[in-house]
Each structure stands twice: as C-alpha cells, then as structure tokens.
Structure 1
Amino acid sequence: MPGFLRRLISPAAAPTLQRDTVRLRLEDDAEIEVLRVRDPRARRIKLSVDERGVRLTLPPRASLVMGERFLQQHRDWLSAQLRNYQSTNLPPPLVIGEPGLLPLRGELLPLRWETGRYAHLELDTDGACMHLPARGTEATVRRTLREFYEAQTRADVGQWLPRYLPALPRAPARLRLKVMSSQWGSLAPDGSMALDLALVLGRPSAFEYVLVHELCHLIQPNHSPAFWAEVEQRFPAWREERDYFQREGRRLKAMLRQLL
C-alpha cells in the first residue's frame, strides 16, 4: 500500500500535551510554581488559576519567551486570583478515622468512621457514616465518596425530572456526571446531558435551576431571549440561583476536588 494512502486511512495519532513547571516571583516577592502546558489544540496563550494551582497554556507556535513575557504581564492578576483562592473557606480535608465534615446539599454534615466489610457511605440521623475495611486506603475513600455523590445526584435528578418532562419535546438521551472545571452542565447535540458532580454539594434550588437550564436546551439549543423565556416560565427564580453560583461556585468546585 502506498505510504500516502496508509497515512490517509490510518487514524491520526492523538495530540500529546507537553508539560513542565516554571517558577515565578510575584510582586510581594512570593515565589509560585506554574504548570506550563504546550497544547496542540490551543489557539492562544492562556493563564488559569484554580485550587490546583496556576497553569500556563501555550499553543504550538508560541515561544517560551512569549510565555514568560505573558506571565510577567499578568503578575498582579495572578496575585489577586491566588488571594481569592486562599480566602476560600473550605472544610478541613478528611482524615481516615477522624471526625470530619461532609458537604452535601448546602450543609456540612458530621462525618464519623466505622469499620465495615466493604466501603460505603450512609446518611443517618446523626449525619453521615463512612464504613471502611481495616485495610481501606485514601484511594478507597475517594472512590467511595464519588460513588456516594453520584448516587445522591441521580436521586435528586430523579426527583425533579418528572416535573418538567411533560412540557419537553423529548427526554434527555442519557445523563453523565462529571467533574467540570468551569461549566455546571451541558447538553450535547444527541440529547445526552452532562452535569457537574459539585452541584449536589450546593443548595438544592441551585442544582434544580441548572437541570432546568439544560432541559430548556432541548427546546432552544442556544441562549437567545426565547431560551431564557423558557427558563423563566419553568423556574422564575433562576436569577437568584445564578447569583448563588457567582458567590459560591468556586468554593463548591474546590470542595469537590479536595474530596476526590
């Protein structure tokens, strides 16, 4: 087979990310570590900050010098963003065997630990109880927490969805639960819905608003005035919940990442 034909029909290799770290001195003389990522899919230089740290994304044609210059130009912005994250009020990280706090539906539930045959998390009148085998590890705890939050999320969706389905042209094709960096939900062209797992950590009314928001995309696949009219009809208090996410969204996502 000729080489050009083989290249044409063979699947293209997936683009790879190149990663390294650089150090940056801020205005207050504090030094931070920046994750530098060269992404073949990136179209521009991008700087982002979240609870995991600082990330500088470079497109293929951007030089390291351009990246360094971009960092220097945004030192003040970085300092402000890092201060915001440092001031985020997060519950203490969970420690196996020690009483802790479990975020769920806008509350912090007392969490206790008991030895069990298999790992599972239960709610009761005293808060929450993590049953963990004697040889359970932190990885076991993270997996159990994710399974617990996924089950709680699906329970909430199952409670609210029948209320809205009769007025929709169709039901979502399927539901995927994800850890999202910025979005709270999305609806794919095939009708499959994705929701951020951090939603179940916040107040239920905010979660329900996101569900309604995504369901309305089954009617209007855009954010036109007609779309917002559909949201308004079904959830008149949507503006209050949008403001809630502006205030608390960063904290909710940070809590989920800390747990998982």
Structure 2
Amino acid sequence: MSLRLFRLRPPPRPVERDTVSLALEGLGEISIQRVRDPRAKRLKLSVDERGARLTLPARASLVSGERFLHQHRHWLAAQLAKLRPADDLPALLRGQTAALPLRGQSLPLHWQEGRYANLAQDDAGLHFQLPARASDATMRRTLRNFYEAQARADVGRWLPKYLPGLPRAPARLRLKIMSSQWGSLSPDGSMALDLALVLGRASAFEYVLVHELCHLIQANHSPAFWREVEARFPAWQDERDYFHAEGRRLKSTLHRLLSAE
C-alpha cells in the first residue's frame, strides 16, 4: 500500500480594481480604472463610453503601469475626446427633452401625466406618459423597454427574409448595451445585439443582423464568411462605413439617455 501526496492548487487570485489619476492636455485631470487581472498577458489600455481602463497582468508593477499610461497619453486623450458628450446629444429630462433618436431620425417627444409609465409612437411622434411621482429610474426603464420593443419588432420583420438557406434559426435573442461590439453569436446559437442599433439608420441595424446570422454558417471572418454576407446584403460595406463614422456617437447617445448621471 502506498500513500500519494496530492499538491493542492492555490485558489485563483481575485481581480483587483482601483483608480489612478492622469492629467491630459485639453481634458484636465481624468480618472482611470486600474484593473489587475491574473488572466491578463500584457498591459492594455482601453477606452469606451464608460471611460478609460488600464489592465495589468499579475506580475506587472504599478510603476510599469504608470509608465505605460504616460507613453500612451496622447492616444488616450484623442480617444477620450471622441467620446466626450456633444452639446447636441440628448439627455432624458422629464418635461424638457423635446426629441429622441429612433431609426436614424430625431422624433418629437411629447410629455403628459398619466396613471402609469408608458412611451408610445404615432404619426405625431413619441408620447411619454408618467405618473406625477414616477422616479427618474422608472423613466429610464420605460425608455429602455420602448427601445427594446422597437428593436425586437425590427428583427421580427427582417428575420423571415434571411432564414431560408441558414442551417437553423438563432436559439434566442438578447438586446444589451455593448461596449465595443454591435453583435455576437454564441456556440449554442444565442444571438446578442447592441441596443444602440435601434437609434441608428435601419439599414445598418439590418446589416448587423445579417452579419450575425451568417455566423451560423461560418463561425469566423474568413473569405467564405464574407461571401455569405455579400450574397445576402450586397451593401454591407456602406453600413460598415456608417458605423465607423457614427458608431461611437450612437453608443454615447444611448449611454447618456439611460445613465443616471
């Protein structure tokens, strides 16, 4: 009889988060989220509508992280400047917001008091009904529900046209706020689409749907994949150019409308 000793693996190190400040020309003192992630392989600096984020591997020193920030401060300033809310980006203010974006248009918004929270559309524009004591959180939730319903209606109109020729339909659809992507398809066939798509022009939204549907055929971005996209949506390059020009603005607009800030 022999006795074997088993070496227990130490538990994985948790992800650590804090903030660091950096002075940038034209932007002043900014706060950067600093994340020490044991899974990270290298130093990484990223920017989205939530702000800047510095990721450090487990063995990287804080000094190396600060040096990395200073080396890339001009790039960081340029990226953050692009994301600064423009004066014409709408905010959701009860009784004050006069228009909301939908499908590439700015629709007039009419406010009224009612027994329950509801947002509806007719030929005159959008009508926002709120109880007198409704909170700002209720107002934002009502707007998000409206956008989700509109996005699902669009997908419901387009999807039957593209299902023939696909190996299967998407298993389910989730609408979510995405930092950088516009859509994704998981191995089980579940599709996720960015809610900000419903703010932009309808043809761009439709292209993203087609793009993700084609991943049911080719789970990659190979030439074969792009041939599938081209066959179903010949003008896909125009929509990709649209996202390059307007994508960040769409995401920033949605963030501003639904944010508590």
**Normalising by the residue count of structure 2, what TM-score does the alignment of the two structures yield?**
0.90
Deviations 1:49-108 (A, max 9, x none): 223322212222221111111111111111212222237564231111223321110011
Residue from 30, 33, 39 that aligns with 1:32 = 30
- Segments of 4+ moved more than 4 angstroms: 12-16, 87-90
Q: 1:255 to 1:200 in 2, by over 3 A?
A: same
Cα distance in structure 2, aligned partners of 1:222 and 1:29: 39
Cα distance in structure 2, aligned partners of 1:42 and 1:244: 32
SS in 2 for 1:232: helix
- Whether 1:234 aligns to 2:221 is no
SS in 2 for 1:110: strand
Q: Which residue matches 2:51?
A: 53
Q: 1:134 to 1:87 in 2, by over 3 A?
A: closer
SS in 2 for 1:166: coil
Q: Which residue matches 2:84?
A: 86
SS in 1 for 2:92: coil
Cα distance in structure 2, aligned partners of 1:117 and 1:16: 47
Structure 1: give runs of 5+ residues left out of the alignment. Answer: none
Cα distance in structure 2, aligned partners of 1:100 and 1:140: 19
Q: 1:147 to 1:15 in 2, by over 3 A?
A: farther
What is the CA RMSD across the aligned residues, in angstroms?
A: 2.2
Q: 1:29 to 1:89 in 2, by over 3 A?
A: closer
Cα distance in structure 1, aligned partners of 2:228 and 2:97: 45
Q: Identity of counterpart residues, as a percentage?
A: 68
- Greater Cα offset, 49-58 or 238-247: 49-58
- Greater Cα offset, 170-179 or 19-28: 19-28
Letter in structure 1 aligned against 2:110: R
Q: Which residue matches 1:259?
A: 257
For 1:53-72, what aligned pairs fall within 5 Å after superposition? 53-72=51-70
SS in 2 for 1:167: coil
For 1:1-260, what aligned pairs fall within 5 Å after superposition? 16-27=14-25, 30-86=28-84, 88=86, 90-260=88-258
Q: 1:16 to 1:125 in 2, by over 3 A?
A: farther
Higher RCO (C-alpha under 8 Å, 6+ residues apart): 2
Deviations 1:218-257 (A, max 9, x none): 1111111111111111100000000000000000111111
Could you tell me whether the CA contact under 8 Å between 1:99 and 1:110 is conserved in 2?
no
Q: 1:48 to 1:108 in 2, by over 3 A?
A: same
Deviations 1:8-57 (A, max 9, x none): 9xxx9887432222211224583222222223332222112223322212
**Normalising by the residue count of structure 1, what TM-score does the alignment of the two structures yield?**
0.90
Could you tell me whether the CA contact under 8 Å between 1:118 and 1:133 is conserved in 2?
yes
Cα distance in structure 1, aligned partners of 2:12 and 2:176: 22
Structure 2: give runs of 5+ residues left out of the alignment. Answer: none
Cα distance in structure 2, aligned partners of 1:123 and 1:28: 41
Q: 1:249 to 1:13 in 2, by over 3 A?
A: farther
Letter in structure 2 aligned against 1:167: G
Aligned length in residues: 253
SS in 2 for 1:156: helix
- Greater Cα offset, 198-207 or 126-135: 126-135
Q: 1:191 to 1:13 in 2, by over 3 A?
A: farther
SS in 2 for 1:102: strand
Could you tell me whether the CA contact under 8 Å between 2:90 and 2:100 is conserved in 1?
no
SS in 2 for 1:62: coil
Cα distance in structure 2, aligned partners of 1:106 and 1:212: 19
Could you tell me whether the CA contact under 8 Å between 1:48 and 1:54 is conserved in 2?
yes
Could you tell me whether the CA contact under 8 Å between 1:89 and 1:251 is conserved in 2?
no
Q: 1:109 to 1:14 in 2, by over 3 A?
A: farther
Measured after TM superposition, the shift of residue 209 of structure 1 is 0.4
